[in-house]
Structure 1
């Protein structure tokens, strides 16, 4: 079970809203989010309702202003609680619709180019666990939350391009 508290102002001030599950739209509860506190669990925050827009991964800790979670603005409109699991396994492909060369991954990969000699992922099948794709090596840059399921093209996970620089498992750090 996870718990996150969102605050309208920096340094945990102003109106706040507590959440311990997925929420598709925060608009009725607050107008902006400048800080938050994750008391337990891990969450993915989204800039737009219905889990759309830039995504931000937060684990337990305090975030006194949105720049601490690499936020581009104070707009957080939805979130997902990420369940913790023990095993992780995914297959990713160099072409859409699971075509071309396939690679299987069960652990973190800080640099796709160094490990697999390619960094364009056009489709993937997450068989176990929850993962984060990063568009740059060493877990930097824009991130994408990958839940179990089939992603036939990079737009299915919200990707702007097929470039993936690194991949990591979501675990309760």
Structure 2
């Protein structure tokens, strides 16, 4: 059986980018949201901590993407913990370098000029001692992804950053010694949602957020023919900005056709949401609980035979002992995105809690399903699952309220809840 990395991917699915810069450590203080590349950030206030919500980014000490570089994966980082250089200087510019789920690939050569013995990698290598001999790299070619080459094993010390391209000598990637201690690619995490209970999106008729626009906060059966008689009709959707919640866009009216998961972020044109063309005719808000994801896949009809339960991202279902065909799906909890091809590529199918008895139920034309991953809820301090319930003293979410993130043996005697809102968990 081929590994997921060796199998051919289908259509690549991109994700929007987002990071938040904070003036204080611990992602506290005043903040600034960044959605796209910025060539000159030198005039911004000093940054103490950063939360990368989506994508992998590179910070530069000088404008125009020059000078010392720092790679930031999804998650939180304290700039003061990275040494005096980044704790004292500001940010000159920043750029998003990982936008989709393409399988990373790097070829290492024992001689300069891309000659000699070749080692091809698609995943991290913590310690070259696992190879037959120490890893001596005189040249390299990055076919896909962004790679970090470390001088020591287990990703220690300052890495060199290699983007797609050819590197005929170690000096070409900033090293003077051909020895490589370890290396790893930067990858996207799972799709995420920050404000699941506050759905809001703005659709534009032209790319680049131009032309007539329309703000929506509920399901839209047909963007070309709104039912309320007041909202403008859009002949086509050229761009889209999701400000809250998690949405599914559809190629056809009535939530039919190709599906596209829309996280909070900016989509400047159809290629940013992974479409085949600019058609986007209906929108649906995902209102299911995002916590504690679990799904069971069955190869046979009617939930018969062997079933595989999955609770985390799976780039190839065959790695879990499941066949290439899925006849039935039972989503126990959470929200999932299933893909027709390995590596989270090809057609997307958004799966909420419930039973899917055949491929028609999840919107596919056949039973091919090769990978899947959950949609995670962004927590208050990091990217993790959130369990939170909010109780209100009045109906319709009015009056006094109290919130809990853990089990409560009893409620305050004086508080009688009349309505509640579940932000995560069950």
Deviation (angstroms), 1:117: 4.3
After superposition, residues 130-169 of structure 1 pair within 5 angstroms as 130-169=335-374
After superposition, residues 30-69 of structure 1 pair within 5 angstroms as 30-69=234-273
Q: 1:27 maps to which residue?
A: 224
- For 1:106 and 1:117, locate their aligned partners in 2 and report how far apart those are by CA, in whole Å: 14
Structure 2 gap segments, 5+ residues each: 1-197, 226-232, 379-426
Match of 1:14 among 184, 204, 211: 211
- For 2:219 and 2:351, locate their aligned partners in 1 and report how far apart those are by CA, in whole Å: 15
Residue pair 1:7, 1:16 contacting (<8 A) in 2 also: yes
SS of the aligned residue for 2:376 comes to: coil
- For 2:224 and 2:322, locate their aligned partners in 1 and report how far apart those are by CA, in whole Å: 43
Deviation (angstroms), 1:114: 2.1
TM-score, structure 1 normalization: 0.93
Q: Does 1:109 align with 2:306?
A: no
Deviation (angstroms), 1:155: 1.4
- For 1:9 and 1:170, locate their aligned partners in 2 and report how far apart those are by CA, in whole Å: 29
TM-score, structure 2 normalization: 0.39
SS of the aligned residue for 2:276 comes to: coil
Deviation (angstroms), 1:126: 1.1
Structure 1 gap segments, 5+ residues each: none
**Number of residue equivalences:** 173
- For 1:48 and 1:153, locate their aligned partners in 2 and report how far apart those are by CA, in whole Å: 21
- For 1:113 and 1:47, locate their aligned partners in 2 and report how far apart those are by CA, in whole Å: 30
Instruction: Name whichever structure is richer in strand by fraction.
Output: 1
Pairwise CA RMSD of aligned residues?
A: 1.4
Structure 1 moving runs of 4+ over 6 Å:
none
- For 1:47 and 1:171, locate their aligned partners in 2 and report how far apart those are by CA, in whole Å: 25
Deviation (angstroms), 1:139: 0.8
Deviation (angstroms), 1:157: 0.8
Residue pair 2:336, 2:352 contacting (<8 A) in 1 also: yes
Q: Which deviates more from structure 2 when the two are superposed, residues 119-128 or residues 81-90? A: 81-90
Deviation (angstroms), 1:119: 2.2
Q: 1:99 maps to which residue?
A: 304
- For 1:70 and 1:146, locate their aligned partners in 2 and report how far apart those are by CA, in whole Å: 18
- For 1:2 and 1:63, locate their aligned partners in 2 and report how far apart those are by CA, in whole Å: 16
Residue pair 2:336, 2:350 contacting (<8 A) in 1 also: yes
- For 1:27 and 1:49, locate their aligned partners in 2 and report how far apart those are by CA, in whole Å: 8
| Structure label with greater radius of gyration | 2
Residue pair 1:2, 1:40 contacting (<8 A) in 2 also: yes
Deviations 1:24-69 (A, max 9, x none): 2112221101111111222110011111000011111111111111
> Relative contact order (C-alpha < 8 Å, sep 6+): which is higher?
1
- For 2:348 and 2:329, locate their aligned partners in 1 and report how far apart those are by CA, in whole Å: 15
Residue pair 2:206, 2:238 contacting (<8 A) in 1 also: yes
